[in-house]
Amino acid sequence: MYLRRIIVVVLVVMALSNLTVSLALAQDPDNGKVLWEEQIWQCSMCHGDMAQGLYGRPLSNSTATETEWIDQVRHPRRSMPTFSETQVTDEQILDIRAYVTSLPAPADDFRPQDPGTSDNEGHNLFLQKRCVACHDPDVGPLNNFVQRGEEPTAAAVIAQLRTPKNNMPTYREDQVSDAEATLIADFLAEQYALQAAPATLPTSGADTPTSQTAWWLTLIGSLALALGLVVRILLRRRATSR
């Protein structure tokens, strides 16, 4: 019995060792550089092009372990959103870690970039929740809505935050509440109304394609009528001369 326990312990240790080795071998800084620069997950939009910190803290001076990096991506603290394994794998996370920790250390006096404020509640939340890091407030978050002809309602925005499409990460309710998401949706709806409108609207008194067509039809009709009258007069004169 004692021997069996020893064998089990040895097997467990070997399995853990193999896992550690496989994770260590997965760290490819060259691939991490490609992943970082492709900006599929927009990491640099929050952490800076050189991982020096921007809206989010610096990463180039990170001393976190491989396991801590993976845990932070899967179960982030504070305002960082959640990325699922279908969006970014553990191996890709470690490759990114290997790359960014090879970059120059950030300045000692780092301070997060101020996203600004707005008197509009929804716009202010859009800024303060760092949505602006990845989305141009006038274009970015609206492209898909405009293309689909779908208004960014509160329900649509909340659904995108909780169960996002494509590469957008997930935001928990303790990060962006439903009430806050509703205010953001109201702001986006205002922007949507502006972008969904025709690029050029006719102004009062201006010529439009419809009015120009009517004008030409009227002119042609008038000319035809005048020509008809001239023909009738000529025919009468000819008849009289006989």
Q: Is 18 helix (H, G, I), strand (E, B) or coil?
A: helix
Output the pLDDT for position 26.
57
| Torsion sign, CA atoms 57, 60, 64, 69 | positive
Q: Among residues 141, 146, 175, 179, which one has the least CA distance to residue 160?
A: 141
What mean pLDDT value characterizes the chain?
Answer: 81
In percent, the amount of the chain with pLDDT more than 90 equals: 50
The predicted structure's pLDDT at residue 106: 92
pLDDT in tens, 53-110: 999 999 999 999 999 999 999 999 888 999 999 999 999 999 999 999 999 999 888 9
Q: Can you name the residues that pair with 170 across neighbouring β-strands?
A: 82
DSSP 113-154: PP----SSHHHHHHHHTTGGGTS-TTSGGGHHHHHHT----H
Is residue 140 within 8 Å of residue 134, measured between CB atoms?
yes
103 vs 143, higher pLDDT: 103
**pLDDT grade for 183, boundaries at 50, 70 and 90:** very high
Give the pLDDT confidence of 196-222 residue by residue, as tens digits.
665 544 444 444 455 566 666 677 767
Say if residues 68 and 97 touch (Cβ distance below 8 Å): no
Residue 107: DSSP 8-state:
P
**Structural domains for the chain:** 22-100 (1.10.760.10), 121-196 (1.10.760)
Q: Which two tokens stand for residue 178?
A: 């439903």
Rounded to whole angstroms, the Cα distance separating 151 from 67 reads 41
Q: Select from 184, 185, 141, 186 the least CA-distant residue to 166.
A: 141
